[in-house]
A and B are shown apart, each in its own frame.
Chain A
Amino acid sequence: MSRPKARFSYSNLLDLLVPIVSILLGLIVGMILIAVAGKNPLGAYGAMFSGAFGSINSISEVIIKTAILTFTGLSVAFAYKVGLFNIGAEGQFIIGAITAAFLGHWIHLPGILHIPVIMVASFIMGGLWAAIAGWLKVTRGVHEVISTIMLNWIAVYLVENWLVTGPLSAVKATGSSDAGTPIIDGSAMLWRFIAYPPDQAGRIGLLVVIFLVAAIVAHYILNRSPIAKATNLILSLVVGAGVAALSSIAIFQWQYGIPGDRANIGIFFAMAAVAITFILLYRTVTGYEIRATGFNQEAARYAGINIKQRTILTMFIAGGLSGLAGMLMICGTERRFPGVFPGGYGFDGIAMALIGQNSPIGTFLASVLFGIIRGGATSMQLPPYEIHKTFADIIQGSVVLFIAANNIIRYLLMFPFKRKGEVD
């Protein structure tokens, strides 16, 4: 089996350069604003990056933010592949979160089962919430931007203003005076890098999962090279075992190495989601049909693709990804649905997808970058800079603006080539 050589043209390069240049321009805009405010821009940026990496605590925050942003970003990017603009990631995120908070406290299962059950449920609930918009789109022609925005508000009022303060509140459930829902069971908490609670069965389960995933990925990759099937199987098992062995050090030892912080294995879930969405989009019939529908509905119909069904399915999966973001927030970071919900990740997901050019890997990279910027922005609040932490929003906003104006950037980048002319 030989793979065709990828052709790399200047236009491919441009696709790559546009987001990078936009990010740089966004950072420059940020510097100008700091300078206008009479502060030292380079110093402030230095504080931001040292803030992001300066302590275990801040690295931990970066990791949490990255994981959640990745999920909501993937959600928006995935919907975009079928041609829909999922403004509703925030609502799906909230629905996924309340589902996790509910199942985390009200059902009781062993650790190895509790988290998978919550994941599936949050995915389905977030997915159904988004599928409403997909269904309205294909049956009634309701524009998804309108319906998802409305669903966002319905989710906010339903969950934050009713369920969390009413039937699902900690006050009602346990009689405690805490705001928000009650704390979830230990078995529903994602393992933090300092393990809590010390759940040996859970860790062993995790190890098994890591072993399986590594072996399957290795098998898939080796399958593309000309080696015998039996050799492939043995090599895959060896790779799986190796990765699991290395991971075991982290899983069993980290509690001694790193002081207590909120970073958790959610980041691995996020990475797995990147790989899975990539494979789903580019290596399966379903993904092919989704992309075909997104590019050209008429041609998709001509090919016998059920457009309506694909559109709803895509929205379901997109909503499911946002739902998982909510699950990470509850089971990983907050451990309850808090009285004051740290929302906004759904809307930030739109920016991540745009900056990542709607590719799964691009979205992940954008999430890492903005995880860092957001994590570090907190440190800029301290003297001598005293820059409000919403500064991260300014950078994010201006990057999105430059991405949206990508034709201008393309034009500027094309300029040295323009004179030589293009092929008509």
Chain B
Amino acid sequence: MEPVIELKGITKQFPAVLANDHIDMSIRKKEVFAIVGENGAGKTTLMNIIYGLYQPDSGKILIRGKETRINGPHQAIAEGIGMVHQHFMLVPVLTVAENIVLGIEPTKAGLVMDMDRARKEVAEFSQKYGMPIDPDARVEYLPVGMQQRVEIIKALFRGAEILILDEPTAVLTPLEREGLFLTINALIEQGKTVIFISHKLNEVMAIADRIAVLRGGRVMGVVDSKETSEAQLARMMVGRDVVLDIAKNPQKLGELVLEVQDLRAKNERGLDAVKGISFHLRRGEILGIAGVEGNGQTELIRVLTGMAKAESGKVLVNRKEMTGATVKSLRRAGIAHIPQDRLRTGLILPFNISENIVLGMHAEPPFARGIVQQRAEVNRFAKEKEDEFDVRPRDITVKAKSLSGGNQQKVIIAREVSSGPEVMIAAQPTRGLDIGATEFVHRKLLEERDKGKAVLLQSLELEEILSLSDRVMVMYGGEIVGCFETKTTNEDELAHYMLGLKRQEHVKA
């Protein structure tokens, strides 16, 4: 197969880092070419160079054998390169068809926009590529998976032959991910080429033909997906052996710390989201909450952490009733919370590391005496935790917004673990993290369990839940539809419960 894109010695230097260091790769027609690497390995920079957003300092790009200088996205599009960004570039209030034809609208007599033709063309297009979509739906009301589909159609509509997907699965539910993979296969059959950027190894193993591994801006190797393994890829990415399967210490179950009885709560739109949930959590165990996104997990955790009020039911911490307690008193009672959205909830981005690392403990001694902040004490604590949790850079004056995702999460975990909790509530604690950081988070959660704390772990990744939890409960439609000892269940069984195909008669959680 002849290559459609060849990169020769692409180098890009940023003021502080060498983002791409003499990158050579050649991508063949009709293949799914995956690029994997940890956060900061240079994947996105490389894609931005191909898409014309950056100019390389040296090296050249050959498109269909011809050396091409890509001066901007418009030229990339003219060369048949399309890109779907991690964060979608859609206008929420416009319809699907309007979004797709935006900028290249068909017109009547060159003046009036011909919406009928646009709608028809979009419908035909989505049919042709096997991506059914309603051209009249407003984008803001579409689920994320559908919005991504709009982005893909948008790129194809502009004549893309080579499609770059930047971390396309980061925002998708497992079901939507399957849909995306079907779409990718259909595209390949139609003769397109897909460049798939990810740091999730199981995904690239499932979808890619060949996989290029980047580390520190360099290509560590290009391998055939049939001839490699996740372990090998992980080693190439991280540069050392990575423990993918976690060895758990035997469980030492202690007394009851958290008890929830018939809890009911509404979501932000006022609809019932948590419908009568009961469970208990004991010291020394990790209880997993599995479920497809949007089945009440978020609302349950908001109520347990005091961020939202329950409609009815009871929450007991250490056998003391804490229903409807404030965040502050729940924190004092020993509830720590790793929130699912670290940017929106877990951190104050314009604050620096030392300000963030005491968030929630900021008014307690030794960080405050009366209303006077003890800055020396805060800074000393921040320095200590930076070392202990390996936060990089080792500089407590760096603002949270300029940290990488993994280091942001480390700041949150450092803070929540050192608040000395009885119960650690972790919501999707590894979302968007690379392998190294994920491994770190997992280790910390297990350490908490082994120290005799109780951990409530909510995740959309079944694999994560199965490898960490001692027990798993499955949420579906705001209820717990099943509860299992992790040892006696498997992914298949749980999936049936997650999709609502099965439920236990009497759930005992």
Contact = CB atoms under 8 A, between A and B. Distances in A.
A303 B360 contact: yes
Query: For this complex, into which size category does the number of interface residues on chain A fall?
Result: 20 to 34
Contacts of A288: 355, 362, 373
B371 A285 contact: yes
B44 interface: yes
Contacts of B337: 302
A218 to B, nearest CB: 17
A117 to B, nearest CB: 25
Interface string A241-282: 000000000000000000000000000000000000000000
Interface in B365-424: 368, 371-373, 375-376, 379, 395-398
Given A292-B351, A423-B17, A299 B371 contact: no
A286 to B, nearest CB: 5
A308 to B, nearest CB: 12
Contacts of A298: 344-345
Interface residues of B, number: 45
Nearest to B372: A284
B349 A303 contact: no
Interface string B111-155: 000000000000000000000000000000000000000000000
Contacts of B373: 283-285, 288
B346 interface: yes
A5 B397 contact: yes
Contacts of A3: 379
Nearest to A6: B397
Contacts of A416: none
B344 A301 contact: no
Interface in B312-350: 326-328, 330-331, 337, 339, 344-350
B48 interface: yes
A304 B351 contact: no
A392 B48 CA distance: 48
B350 to A, nearest CB: 5
Contacts of B330: 304
B348 A296 contact: yes
Nearest to B362: A288
A285 B368 contact: yes
A314 B331 CA distance: 25
Nearest to A284: B371
Contact of A1 (B45, B328, B345, B376): B376
Contacts of B359: 292, 299, 302-303
B419 to A, nearest CB: 11
A283 B375 contact: yes
B436 to A, nearest CB: 20
Interface in A1-47: 1, 3-7
A140 interface: no
A285 B372 contact: yes
Contact of B395 (A7, A289, A420): A7
A295 interface: yes
Interface in A375-424: 420-424
Contacts of A424: 14, 19, 44-45, 48
Contact of B348 (A6, A286, A299, A306): A299
A424 B19 CA distance: 9
A87 to B, nearest CB: 24
Of A288, A291, A301, the most chain B CB neighbours within 10 A belong to A288
A296 B307 CA distance: 14
B15 interface: yes
Contacts of B376: 1, 224
Contact of B363 (A5, A285, A301): A285
A130 B360 CA distance: 28
Contacts of A7: 395, 397-398
B362 A421 contact: no
A4 B396 contact: yes
Contact of A423 (B16, B348, B351, B360): B16
Of A283, A286, A304, A424, the most chain B CB neighbours within 10 A belong to A304
B54 interface: yes
A423 B54 CA distance: 11
A292 B305 CA distance: 19
A420 B57 CA distance: 9
Contacts of A303: 327, 359-360, 362
Contact of A285 (B16, B362, B395, B396): B362
B349 A296 contact: yes
Contacts of B396: 4
Contacts of A300: 348
Nearest to B48: A424
Contacts of B379: 3-4
A289 B355 CA distance: 11
A53 B360 CA distance: 51
B95 to A, nearest CB: 31
Of B16, B363, B368, the most chain A CB neighbours within 10 A belong to B363
B15 A423 contact: yes
A284 B370 CA distance: 9
A286 B372 CA distance: 8
Contacts of A286: 371
A421 B17 CA distance: 11
A73 B376 CA distance: 31
A123 to B, nearest CB: 18
Nearest to B13: A421
Contact of B347 (A283, A299, A301, A306): A299
Nearest to A224: B376
A299 B346 contact: yes
B344 A4 contact: no
A302 B339 contact: yes
Contacts of A284: 371-373
A357 B12 CA distance: 35
B348 A295 contact: yes
A374 B89 CA distance: 48
Contacts of B354: 4
A291 B373 CA distance: 14
Contacts of A420: 15
A286 B368 CA distance: 10
Contacts of A304: 306, 326-328, 330-331, 360
Contacts of A292: 348, 351, 359
29 contacts: A4-B396, A4-B397, A5-B397, A6-B397, A283-B375, A284-B373, A285-B362, A285-B371, A285-B373, A288-B373, A291-B351, A295-B350, A296-B347, A296-B349, A299-B347, A302-B305, A302-B307, A302-B337, A302-B345, A302-B359, A304-B326, A304-B327, A304-B331, A420-B15, A421-B15, A423-B14, A423-B16, A424-B19, A424-B44
Interface of A: 1, 3-7, 224, 283-286, 288-289, 291-292, 295-296, 298-304, 306, 420-424
Given A6-B397, A284-B372, A304-B328, 7 more contacts: A7-B397, A295-B351, A296-B348, A301-B307, A302-B339, A304-B326, A304-B360
Interface of B: 12, 14-17, 19, 44-45, 48, 54, 305-307, 326-328, 330-331, 337, 339, 344-351, 354-355, 359-360, 362-363, 368, 371-373, 375-376, 379, 395-398
Q: Which A-B residue pairs are the 7 nearest by beta carbons? A: A304-B328, A304-B327, A303-B360, A423-B14, A1-B376, A303-B359, A284-B371
